[in-house]
Structure 1
Amino acid sequence: MTADDSFDRLNDDDYPAYTMGRAAEMLGTTQGFLRAVGEARLITPLRSTGGHRRYSRYQLRIAARARELVDHGTPVEAACRIVILEDQLEEAQRINAEHQRRAAGTPTAVS
């Protein structure tokens, strides 16, 4: 593995770069909160070879949104359902916009 490969992984939103302790610290929450959103199936951390939970930046953004809702009084399970629905809505809107561009004959960007 080259230094460029390591740098590319750090720029990857899906690369599980953060330990549970670091993730909780970054979110200003507890490890228990991260376990709770995991149990509610909002995020599923990857496991290191030693069995430790690892989180990606994408997962931390999702957990941060759930924490925002919880901080405003929403129960954890409900907050997780809301975040999942928001994510599904965003994806549906993206797909709809893509279909509209295709129907209009506008070239789409390559992902």
Structure 2
Amino acid sequence: MDQGPPTAADKFDDEHYPAYTMGRAAEMLGTTPGFLRSLDEAKLLAPQRSSGGHRRYTRHELRLAARVRELLDEGMALNAACRIVVLEDQLEEARRGNDASRRA
């Protein structure tokens, strides 16, 4: 059943909607735009681009970036922190899939 295009309310609830500019994302995380660019270069994040070419981040990406920041603050190397975050995210996704399968 087609539900039509997403409404504004749907976008607020969508954790994958690219709602945050780089500046706002960095401010929310307490980091610099350079930190976010380093996560792009490490291929942890793949922000969408606005029509003007500016990076736009999702809430999901901000959660991943915040977790990497925590690991870096604990002394972990960037590449190791990114790998851990990817594995944690994959594990969470698999758990959600298993839960959905059990309910079905």
Confirm or deny a common fold (TM above 0.5). Answer: yes
Which sections of structure 1, spanning at least 5 residues, go unmatched? 102-106
Q: Match of 2:68, as an amino acid?
A: A
- Two-structure CA RMSD over aligned residues (Å): 1.7
Q: Secondary structure at the residue paired with 1:91? A: helix
Partner of 2:48: 46
Change (3 A) 1:22 1:92: same
In structure 2, distance between residues paired with 1:11 and 1:95: 19
> In structure 1, which of residues 25, 28, 31 is the aligned counterpart of residue 30 of structure 2?
28
Give TM-score scaled by structure 1 length: 0.80
Equivalent pairs, count: 99
Partner of 2:20: 18
Which sections of structure 2, spanning at least 5 residues, go unmatched? 1-5
Partner of 2:3: none
In structure 2, distance between residues paired with 1:50 and 1:87: 30
Question: Offset of 1:9 from its aligned partner?
Answer: 1.1
Same amino acid, percent of matched pairs: 63
> In structure 2, which of residues 76, 88, 92 is the aligned counterpart of residue 74 of structure 1?
76
Give TM-score scaled by structure 2 length: 0.85
In structure 1, distance between residues paired with 2:8 and 2:17: 11
Question: Which is greater in Rg?
Answer: 1
